[in-house]
Amino acid sequence: METINVDLLFRIAGIGIFISVLNIVLKQADKEEQAQMLTLVGVVIVLLMVIQLINELFDSIRTIFNIY
Amino acid sequence: MEIVQVVALGLIAAVFTLFLKETKPELAVFLSITVGVIIFLSLLKHIARVLHILQEITVRANINILYLDILLKIIGIAYISEFGAQICRDAGEGATASKIEFAGKILILVLAVPLVVVVLETIMGLIP
């Protein structure tokens, strides 16, 4: 029996919760722009992680189903 | 049991997605993409095994391997377009999802045309 790699899932969820908490703090401190930037940075970081996973998925589908 | 792992993963992801959807909807979409990909990647080994067996049967039945290739390509396109369309629909982009499905259907049709031609030729050959 193999274990499924769930690291990325928890990492993304953690980043999301972390950023939403920080967002609330920044909004309370009247720093709307920084909050916006933080959201953007979070999205970019998560996107970089997810893109690698999607690339892996597409590669494996392409090799399994012989799509070129 | 692998199915237990998959179900547990899905439930955990659903809870996280529900939580993130309220505050950060864009990250919730990433989360659902990740879950889909992880589940597929965990099933990769089994899919490969089934396809290998299918290939063996095809060779043993003296059927041209080209047909199985076309079939596999169609399954791959169907899976990948369905995946993308569902993610888009989850993100609230129903229009984009419909377009992705449309593209998938057209590409499948393109792949299936040679088979249809072969069938038609066979029928024409049967008619004296």
The answer to the question of residue A28 being in a domain is: yes
What stretches of B24-93 show up as alpha helix (H) in DSSP?
25-60, 65-90
Residues B87 and B111 in one domain: yes
Identify whether the C-beta of residue A64 lies closer than 8 Å to the C-beta of residue B75: no
Number of domains in chain B: 2
Per DSSP, the three-state class of B1 is coil
Give the pLDDT of residue B98: 96
Residues B71 and B41 in one domain: no
Give the pLDDT of residue B120: 93
Residues B38 and B56 in one domain: yes
> Which residues 6+ apart lie within 8 Å of B39 measured at CB?
A4, B6, B9, B10
Give the pLDDT of residue B24: 85
Mean pLDDT of B14-29: 88
Parent domain of A59: 7-64
The answer to the question of residue A1 being in a domain is: no
- Tell which residue, A44, A60, A46, has the closest CA to residue A11: A46
Instruction: Tell whether the model's pLDDT for residue A64 goes beyond 90.
Output: no
What stretches of chain A show up as alpha helix (H) in DSSP?
7-28, 32-64
- Tell which residue, B24, B2, B12, has the closest CA to residue A8: B12
The answer to the question of residue A2 being in a domain is: no
What is this model's ipTM?
0.82
* A54 contacts B24? CB cut-off 8 A: no
Each residue's pLDDT tens digit, A1-54:
456 678 888 888 899 899 999 999 999 998 889 889 999 999 999 999 999 989
> Which residues 6+ apart lie within 8 Å of B99 measured at CB?
none
pLDDT confidence tier of residue A67, bands split at 50, 70 and 90: confident
Instruction: Tell whether the model's pLDDT for residue B117 goes beyond 70.
Output: yes
Parent domain of B98: 65-128
Residues B115 and B77 in one domain: yes
Each residue's pLDDT tens digit, B38-85:
998 888 889 889 989 999 999 999 988 888 888 889 999 999 999 999
- Chain A positions touching B80 (Cβ under 8 A) are 58, 61
Residues B49 and B92 in one domain: no
Give the pLDDT of residue A63: 87
- Residue of A1, A5, A6 best to disrupt the B interface, most CBs of B under 10 A: A6
Each residue's pLDDT tens digit, A53-62:
899 888 988 8
Q: What's the half-sphere exposure (Cβ side, CA atoms, 13 Å) at B105?
A: 7
Better-scored residue on pLDDT, B128 or B49: B49
Better-scored residue on pLDDT, A3 or B26: B26
Our CA dihedral for B15, A54, B46, B76, rounded to 10 degrees, sits at 120
Identify whether the C-beta of residue B37 lies closer than 8 Å to the C-beta of residue A53: yes
Report the alpha-carbon distance of residue B91 to residue B96 in Å, rounded. 10
Identify whether the C-beta of residue A9 lies closer than 8 Å to the C-beta of residue B16: yes
B19 CA to chain A: closest CA distance, Å?
8
